[in-house]
Chain A
Amino acid sequence: MNPLATVGRFFLAFLQQIGELTIFAGRAVSHCVRPPFYFRHIGRQMLDIGYYSLPVVGLTALFTGMVLALQSYTGFARFSAEGAVATVVVLSVTRELGPVIAGLMVAGRIGASIASELGTMRVTEQIDALYTLSTNPMKYLVAPRIIAGVLTLPLLVIVADIIGVFGGYVVGVYKLEFNAAVYLKQTFDFLEFMDVFSGLVKAAVFGFIITLMGCYHGYRSDGGAQGVGRATTNAVVSASILILVFNYAITELFFATR
């Protein structure tokens, strides 16, 4: 077998995937902005993505803030900069860790759930049935999930930010024995609007990525139970990778010249 042909086939298949994903995303976005809107479905999805993700996102944000305070304290103590702990915690959480941790957690929970639900609907012909009932599956199934993802992730990240900063505060004040008032002052003195805003923009983009990848892989699922399993794995893996890629791109956009 010619190795160049293998590489070429792989590359062409990759390009085909990119093209199909782009067309799917374009169709999905066009259905997101055109009526009719299924508000009840959007509400249900927001509840599922936001409210039911709170425990997992809250816990991971709490421990991330705690470990961040602990690690930065032990690191900064080497050059007597312990006073920067509160600032480092709040900037790291709001700019990076809040959105990324929430994004990855939701990718695991919701991305998998969407892909398996839509995948099962595909292999049991429920998506075909929607079509025969004069209901566009993109509008009925995909658009509400994407709208809910884009609207809900920022709300979830606000909660993650608050809990993450609180985790740092708990470790800073009760373990590292910072003065509570000083810790809070250092937390808010150096925090700028753009730090929080950039995190929320990231969250909205991550919400789009997670729901898009879940819908894309689920919608195109085939091959029965194995196909649904494959779609679920692909949705989580691709969403996780894209979250990290776009995290860098958005950081570059917001902070590279600052």
Chain B
Amino acid sequence: MADTPKIEIRGLKKRFGSKVVLDGLDLDVGDGESVVIIGGSGTGKSVLLKCILGLLDPEAGSIKVDGQEVIGLSTREREQVNRKFGMLFQSAALFDSLSVWENVAFGLVSAQGKSKKEAKPIALDKLAQVGLPPQVGELQPSELSGGMRKRVGLARAIATQPEIIFFDEPTTGLDPIMSDVINDLIVDCVHRLGASALSITHDMASARKIAHRIAMLYQGKIIWQGPVGDIDKSGNAHVDQFIHGRADGPIRMQIPV
């Protein structure tokens, strides 16, 4: 692992009204490392991703990408930083108005300035990498199943050869077999690109498969982190309760009001 982490987060704080979501969070993601953040619903996993991507402004703390502070960047500077990123959204977030291959080629055209003619073969190649035939490229997103949408979302995320890829609940809404297929694709794509990956999930099977390191987010902080092989002997009651999916334990489900 290189000395400078790809992503370095220190003391990150974010609140919505009186609700504190991130409370001084610290986390590093190394070069070529795949980190998975686990945690219950509403613990701020998505908020953390949105802060890194610049979709939300944190109240305090620092986020560095390749050693560069990214909080407070201008729009143009932020666009430059975001060119290092790829993102697979929970709902895939495919653009309804574009065909599948245009979705995959979007970043190549908009961020890298390629013509559509140049971008199309690359998009079809990325679709092939996620197991989709070229004919799928001509379909509209509304014609795809949930698993196919995730694959297309993954193809779009890797199309621009990003240095860092974010996965937001990559297996949510998929059956166990399709979840495993997506997990394999994620591992394969990240490995092939040599990219760093930061994923959030509460699917432990997915976390075990795609992570080098797992971190658990609870009450706005990382309360435990370690190699994926250590998760079963973490010695942390919160982690044990979460990974075994027990209702009894130190974690009390909060009902938002």
Using CB atoms and an 8 Å cutoff, list the residues of chain A in contact with chain B: 120-121, 124-126, 128-136, 140
Contacts and interface: CB of A to CB of B under 8 A. Distances in A.
Interface residues of B, number: 26
B107 A124 contact: no
Interface of B: 50, 53-55, 75, 79-80, 82-83, 85-87, 89-91, 93-96, 106-107, 110-111, 156, 160, 166
A11 to B, nearest CB: 20
Contact of A129 (B79, B83, B93, B111): B93
A134 B55 contact: no
A135 B166 CA distance: 17
Given A124-B93, A134-B82, A129 B87 contact: yes
Nearest to B89: A125
Contacts of A136: 75, 79
B95 A131 contact: no
Contacts of A126: 93-96
A117 to B, nearest CB: 8
Given A124-B91, A125-B89, A125-B91, A131 B82 contact: yes
Contacts of B91: 124-125
Given A124-B91, A131-B82, A132-B87, 4 more contacts: A121-B95, A130-B95, A131-B55, A134-B111
Contacts of B75: 136
B167 to A, nearest CB: 12
B98 to A, nearest CB: 10
18 contacts: A120-B96, A121-B95, A125-B89, A126-B94, A128-B50, A128-B53, A129-B89, A132-B55, A132-B86, A132-B87, A132-B166, A133-B156, A134-B79, A134-B80, A134-B83, A135-B106, A135-B111, A136-B75
A116 B160 CA distance: 30
Given A125-B89, A125-B90, A132 B53 contact: yes
B54 A125 contact: no
Contacts of A129: 87, 89, 93-95
A128 B94 CA distance: 11
A129 B168 CA distance: 12
A120 to B, nearest CB: 8
A135 B110 contact: yes
B55 A128 contact: yes
A128 B107 contact: no
Nearest to B76: A136
A131 B53 contact: yes
B93 A128 contact: yes
Nearest to B108: A133
A131 B52 CA distance: 12
A133 B55 contact: no
B53 A133 contact: no
A134 B166 CA distance: 15
A133 B54 contact: no
B93 to A, nearest CB: 4
A123 B219 CA distance: 26
A133 B84 CA distance: 10
Contacts of B80: 134
B110 A133 contact: yes
Nearest to A134: B111
Contacts of A132: 53, 55, 82, 85-87, 166
A133 B111 contact: yes
B107 A125 contact: no
A53 to B, nearest CB: 19
Nearest to A125: B93
Contacts of B86: 132
Contacts of A120: 96
Contacts of B90: 125
Nearest to A133: B107
Nearest to B95: A126
Contacts of B95: 121, 126, 129-130
A128 B89 CA distance: 9
